């Protein structure tokens, strides 16, 4: 399967690079307007999100016409190959709209339900994060060679810088705010960067020490979850696997303690 997965990884990165270049070129100065909203009036999608997903779907489909596709904006298309592409064309859409420099293209490739390859391209900086299951996670900046990612661990949980995010639905957001308030008493600080994909990459490369969020969709999590795991980060949810109800990520030395704290704080 290695050759097949390596091919999927190549196809993903080619599509993600093209989409990131399109997003950079297409973004006008100032604030970008929402074309429509989804789960709430503050859950936007722009015409550029939609066009980027179309570009990714066409780029992948040209090489893999029999694969399934699940995109944040265009929904799901069944395939017959056992491979499904799980795509967020712009993760961090609100950041994109406001011109806050943290939004990314996220593409994961599932084979029979398991994410085997993934990539995330920061559409502002061009930083590329890639992973193949069992073969490690890598980060590449500019023309440099990809560098292997190995998650760092803080000396203690009280020194942990924790990434998080809040849901677009206000009642869920209020619950999360209470949980984060409790969490703050036990960690160094939090960062709310606005992109789950980039937050998971940040834990993988040590720019964050841990991450917790509720409400992530498969496309937020597919590539970032693989990249984090392949860098030595443990992920979990209410059970062993992260999901929409809860996603927790931390390096092994603090993982158990952080997971207990997250549940104690009410996530
Ligand atoms: C975003 C996530 C982020 C979360 C936002 C939003 P989108 O995804 O990446 O972590 O806090 O609420 O869900 O909507 O920008 O693709």
Residues 102, 80, single domain; the answer is yes
Distances, alpha carbon 83 to alpha carbons 106, 200, 263, in Å: 16, 23, 34
Residue 92's domain is classified under what CATH number? 3.30.540.10
Does the structure show a pLDDT above 80 at 186? yes
Residues 90, 177, single domain; the answer is no
For the CA of 95, the closest atom of ligand 1 is: 15
Residues 240, 125, single domain; the answer is no
Mean pLDDT over residues 84-101, rounded? Answer: 98
Does the structure show a pLDDT above 90 at 56? yes
Residue 186's domain is classified under what CATH number? 3.40.190.80
- pLDDT score, position 142: 87
Please say whether the beta carbons of 72 and 219 come within 8 A.
Answer: yes
Residues 6 or more apart in contact with residue 62 via CB below 8 angstroms? none
Does the structure show a pLDDT above 80 at 1? no
**Whether residue 195 has its Cβ less than 6 Å from ligand 1:** yes
Two structure tokens written together for 64:
């893999």
Mean pLDDT over residues 83-111, rounded? Answer: 98
Residues 89, 204, single domain; the answer is no
**Whether residue 53 has its Cβ less than 6 Å from ligand 1:** no
- pLDDT score, position 232: 97
> 140 forms bridges with which residues in the sheet?
128
User: How many whole angstroms separate alpha carbon 264 and alpha carbon 88?
Assistant: 31
Question: What is the number of other CB atoms lying within 10 angstroms of the CB of residue 62?
Answer: 10
- pLDDT score, position 226: 98
Q: What is the pLDDT of residues 2-31, one digit of tens each?
A: 889 999 999 999 999 999 999 999 999 999
Residues 6 or more apart in contact with residue 30 via CB below 8 angstroms? 99
Domain boundary among 148, 176, 202: 148
Which residue from 165, 125, 211, 141 is spatially nearest to 43, judged by alpha carbons?
Answer: 165
**Whether residue 196 has its Cβ less than 6 Å from ligand 1:** yes
**Whether residue 163 has its Cβ less than 6 Å from ligand 1:** no
Two structure tokens written together for 167:
């849901």
- pLDDT score, position 164: 98
- pLDDT score, position 261: 98
- pLDDT score, position 40: 83
Residues 116, 198, single domain; the answer is no
**Whether residue 93 has its Cβ less than 6 Å from ligand 1:** yes
Q: What is the DSSP letter of 28?
A: P
What's the whole-number average pLDDT of the chain?
Answer: 96
For the CA of 88, the closest atom of ligand 1 is: 16
Residues 77, 170, single domain; the answer is no
- pLDDT score, position 32: 92
Domain boundary among 107, 128, 148: 148
Domain boundary among 148, 174, 193: 148
User: How many whole angstroms separate alpha carbon 168 and alpha carbon 112?
Assistant: 31
Backbone angles phi, psi at 147, to 5 degrees: -110, 135
Residues 23, 118, single domain; the answer is yes
**Whether residue 220 has its Cβ less than 6 Å from ligand 1:** yes
Domain that holds residue 6: 2-148
Residues 228, 187, single domain; the answer is yes
Does the structure show a pLDDT above 80 at 45? yes
Tell me the pairing of strands 147-148 and 161-164: unpaired
**Whether residue 88 has its Cβ less than 6 Å from ligand 1:** yes
**Whether residue 49 has its Cβ less than 6 Å from ligand 1:** no
Residues 101, 127, single domain; the answer is yes
Q: Where does residue 221 fall: left (phi above 0), alpha (psi -120 to 50 degrees), or beta otherwise?
A: alpha
User: How many whole angstroms separate alpha carbon 64 and alpha carbon 255?
Assistant: 38
Q: What is the pLDDT of residues 151-174, one digit of tens each?
A: 999 999 999 999 999 988 899 899
Please say whether the beta carbons of 112 and 59 come within 8 A.
Answer: no
- pLDDT score, position 2: 87
CA of 143 to the centre of ligand 1 (A): 29
Residue whose CA lies nearest to ligand 1 atom number 15:
92
**Whether residue 92 has its Cβ less than 6 Å from ligand 1:** yes
Mean pLDDT over residues 207-230, rounded? Answer: 97
Residues 194, 119, single domain; the answer is no
CA of 4 to the centre of ligand 1 (A): 30
CA of 196 to the centre of ligand 1 (A): 6
- pLDDT score, position 196: 98
Residues 7, 111, single domain; the answer is yes
Q: Work out the percent of the chain whose per-residue pLDDT is above 90.
A: 90
Domain count, the chain: 2
Mean pLDDT over residues 73-96, rounded? Answer: 96
User: How many whole angstroms separate alpha carbon 40 and alpha carbon 227?
Assistant: 29
Residues 161, 181, single domain; the answer is yes
- pLDDT score, position 124: 97
């Amino acid at each position: 399967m290695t050759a097949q997965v390596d091919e999927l990884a190549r196809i993903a990165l080619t599509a993600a690079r093209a989409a990131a270049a399109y997003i950079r070129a297409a973004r006008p100065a100032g604030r970008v307007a929402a074309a429509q909203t989804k789960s709430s009036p503050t859950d936007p999608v722009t015409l550029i999100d939609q066009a980027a997903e179309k570009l990714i779907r066409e780029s992948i489909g040209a090489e893999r016409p029999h694969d399934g596709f699940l995109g944040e904006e265009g929904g799901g298309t069944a395939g017959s190959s056992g491979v499904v592409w799980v795509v967020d064309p712009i993760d961090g859409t609100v950041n994109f709209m406001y011109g806050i420099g943290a939004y990314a293209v996220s593409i994961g490739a599932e084979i029979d339900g398991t994410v085997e390859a993934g990539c995330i391209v920061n559409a502002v900086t061009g930083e590329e994060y890639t992973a193949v299951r069992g073969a490690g996670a890598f980060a590449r900046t500019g023309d440099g060679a990809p560098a292997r990612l190995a998650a760092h661990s803080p000396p203690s949980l009280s020194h942990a810088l924790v990434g998080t995010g809040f849901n677009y639905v206000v009642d869920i957001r209020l619950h999360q705010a209470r949980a984060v308030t409790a969490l703050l008493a036990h960690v160094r600080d939090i960062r709310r960067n606005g992109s789950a994909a980039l937050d998971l990459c940040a834990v993988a490369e040590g720019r964050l020490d841990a991450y917790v969020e509720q409400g992530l969709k498969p496309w937020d999590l597919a590539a970032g979850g693989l990249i984090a795991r392949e860098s030595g980060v443990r992920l979990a949810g209410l059970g062993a696997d992260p999901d929409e109800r809860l996603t927790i990520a931390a390096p092994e030395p603090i993982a158990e303690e952080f997971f207990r704290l997250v549940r104690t704080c009410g996530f």
